[in-house]
């Protein structure tokens, strides 16, 4: 016969265990439901202000009624906010949509700069809902990023076109040479044209390499002390044959001992491009002068020609890649269209700039300006050297 006392005890223990588990489960879920029913903490003004100060983007914080509660100084300076209202209807429309949907929305806004003569401004705007039925508008300037992207696209398109021209010409000339192999005079003529197109292609490729090097942040990682007179002499020597072929006299100013910190190869390339540009746009029998002086701690290398000059409306664009003001003269003189762009990049990378004076029919003066390594007394002037 079973011991009913032991059986009863075992049954009681099992029931007690199940009751404990059930109670624990009920208590846990009751606590969780109670926590979920509790209101979530709302960010106070101090938290919001700290959050906005930590953000790199400019901002506008709107109340439930759509009034501006606080805004960055930039928002006022750009004219996006006036008083307690947002002035741009595009932003207001997105704010209203965000209030209805509760979802973050983005907007790209194009507007004129407040400074006359400046290009348009492109803003990337993000509108997001916040606690307390507030709305946050973040924005940052993407003008430079958009400009660089457009420049990249233009560069790819232009370089494709520029490479296509000499490559196509070389292929056509090579085919023509095969067809007139038994005609010595034509062979000589087409061979000369083939050499010119080959030289044009080589020059273009070299300019692209130089420009790519300049866009590399390590181009001037190890600057050295450079004698500017040596830079000018080497640049002149590289252009002498071209000048003689066009009957252009090269005149180098007085020698000096002025120096600057930088990359000698890049500086020489920049000055060579300025001299080459002056030669190409000078009339036969003209003169190109190159000189250097120091003014207020800056070295100024001037290249002066007596050529056709540059119209006022083209002076800002001549430093753009592949820009050509006179297509007819460009076809006659050749060139890659990258020379002055390289000059501008070299000057900027050396902490300097390029200044231009020009008058149609009277010539142009390009002045390459970089910081001097140290300010020295002016050297004794010597007679100009006819090269």
224-241, pLDDT tens digit by residue?
Answer: 899 999 999 999 998 888
Which fold does the domain 222-386 belong to in CATH? Heat Shock Protein 90 (3.30.565)
> Which residues, in sequence order, are bridge partners of residue 355?
367
**Which whole-number Å values give the CA distances from 186 to 20, 166, 281, 316, in the listed order?**
109, 20, 30, 44
Beta-carbon contacts of 348 under 8 Å, excluding residues fewer than 6 positions away, are none
Q: What is the SS3 assignment for 318?
A: coil
Residues constituting the chain: 387
Which residue ranges make up each domain of the chain? Answer: 58-141, 145-215, 222-386
How high is the pLDDT of residue 324? 58
Reported as a single tens digit per residue, the pLDDT across 252-278 is 888 778 889 888 888 998 999 899 889
What CATH superfamily classification does 58-141 receive?
A: PAS domain (3.30.450.20)
The predicted pLDDT at position 11 comes to 47
Cβ partners under 8 Å of residue 215, min gap 6? 345
Rg (CA), the chain: 36
Beta strands in the chain (DSSP E): 58-62, 68-71, 81-82, 85-86, 105-111, 121-129, 135-141, 224-227, 249-252, 259-262, 287-295, 298-305, 353-359, 363-371, 385-386
- State whether CATH 1.10.287.130 applies to domain 145-215: yes
Q: What is the pLDDT of residue 271?
A: 93
Q: How far apart are CA 144 and CA 45, in angstroms?
A: 34
CA distances from 350 to 79, 222, 298 (A): 36, 12, 11
How many degrees, rounded to 5, is the angle at CA 61 between CA 56 and CA 66?
155
Question: Would the CA dihedral through 110, 112, 113, 118 be positive or negative?
Answer: positive
Question: Any bridge partners for residue 348, and if so which?
Answer: none
pLDDT < 50 stretches in the chain: 1-2, 7, 11, 21, 34-42, 115-118, 327-331, 333, 375-384, 386-387
Q: Provide the pLDDT for residue 150.
A: 72
pLDDT at 66 (0 to 100): 87
pTM above 0.75, yes or no: no
Dihedrals phi, psi of 309, to nearest 5 degrees: 80, 170
How many other β-carbons are positioned within 10 Å of the β-carbon of residue 147? Answer: 12
d(CA 135, CA 130): 5
Burial profile 227-239: b = 16 or more Cβ within 10 angstroms, e = fewer: ebbebbbbbbeeb
Round to whole Å and give the CA distance between 360 and 306. Answer: 10
């Amino acid at each position: 016969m079973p011991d009913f006392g032991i059986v009863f005890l075992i049954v009681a223990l099992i029931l007690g265990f199940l009751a404990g588990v059930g109670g624990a489960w009920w208590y846990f879920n009751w606590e969780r439901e109670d926590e979920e029913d509790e209101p979530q903490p709302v960010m106070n003004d101090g938290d919001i202000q700290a959050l906005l100060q930590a953000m790199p983007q400019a901002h506008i914080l709107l109340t439930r009624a759509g009034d501006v509660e606080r805004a960055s100084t930039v928002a006022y300076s750009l004219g996006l906010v006036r008083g307690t209202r947002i002035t741009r209807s595009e932003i207001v429309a997105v704010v209203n949509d965000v209030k209805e949907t509760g979802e973050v929305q983005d907007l790209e806004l194009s507007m004129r700069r407040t400074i006359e003569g400046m290009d348009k401004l492109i803003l990337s705007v993000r509108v997001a809902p916040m606690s307390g039925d507030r709305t946050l508008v973040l924005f940052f300037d993407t003008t430079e990023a958009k400009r660089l992207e457009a420049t990249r696209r233009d560069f790819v398109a232009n370089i494709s076109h520029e490479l296509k021209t000499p490559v196509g010409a070389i292929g056509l000339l090579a085919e023509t040479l095969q067809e007139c192999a038994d005609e010595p005079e034509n062979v000589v003529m087409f061979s000369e044209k083939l050499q010119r197109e080959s030289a044009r292609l080589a020059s273009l490729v070299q300019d692209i390499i130089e420009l790519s090097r300049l866009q590399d942040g390590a181009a001037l990682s190890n600057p050295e002390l450079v004698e500017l007179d040596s830079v000018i002499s080497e640049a002149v020597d590289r252009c002498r044959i071209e000048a003689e072929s066009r009957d252009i006299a090269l005149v180098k100013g007085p020698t000096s001992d002025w120096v600057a910190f930088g990359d000698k190869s890049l500086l020489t390339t920049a000055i060579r491009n300025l001299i080459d540009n002056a030669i190409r746009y000078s009339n036969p029998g003209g003169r190109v002068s190159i000189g250097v002086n120091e003014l207020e701690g800056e070295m100024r290398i001037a290249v002066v020609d007596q050529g056709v000059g540059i119209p006022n409306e083209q002076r800002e664009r001549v430093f753009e890649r592949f820009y050509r003001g006179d297509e007819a003269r460009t076809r006659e003189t050749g060139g890659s269209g990258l020379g002055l762009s390289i000059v501008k990049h070299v000057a900027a990378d050396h902490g300097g700039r390029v200044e231009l004076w020009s008058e149609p029919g009277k010539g142009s003066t390009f002045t390459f300006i970089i910081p001097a390594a140290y300010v020295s007394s002016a050297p004794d002037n010597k007679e100009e050297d006819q090269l």
